[in-house]
């Protein structure tokens, strides 16, 4: 999950703080997700997807394709 999230964020030229502002998740939590310290809940996946401008199903598919 972490590498996919970071890759998608960087592809959109977003900092962790910018993504945080877009999706309403704290920057430290995004950092923990990117480092695989935390695993996202379904709610967090929806919030992240919205912040990245994609559907939650698209985000999950990106994660599945990476595995």
Query: What's the whole-model pTM score?
Result: 0.92
Q: Please identify, in words, the CATH class of the domain defined by 2-66.
A: mainly alpha
Over residues 5-44, the pLDDT tens digits come to 999 999 999 999 999 999 999 999 999 999 999 999 999 9
Q: Is the pLDDT of residue 67 over 80?
A: no
Around 6, how many Cα atoms within 13 Å sit in the side-chain half-sphere?
10
**How confident is residue 66, by pLDDT bands cut at 50, 70 and 90?**
confident
pLDDT at residue 45 tops 90: yes
């Amino acid at each position: 999950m972490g590498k996919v999230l970071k890759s998608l964020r960087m592809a959109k030229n977003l900092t962790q703080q910018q993504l945080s502002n877009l999706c309403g998740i704290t920057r430290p939590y995004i950092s923990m997700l990117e480092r695989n310290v935390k695993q996202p809940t379904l709610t967090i996946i929806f919030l992240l997807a919205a912040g990245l401008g994609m559907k939650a199903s698209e985000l999950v598919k990106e994660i599945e394709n990476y595995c």
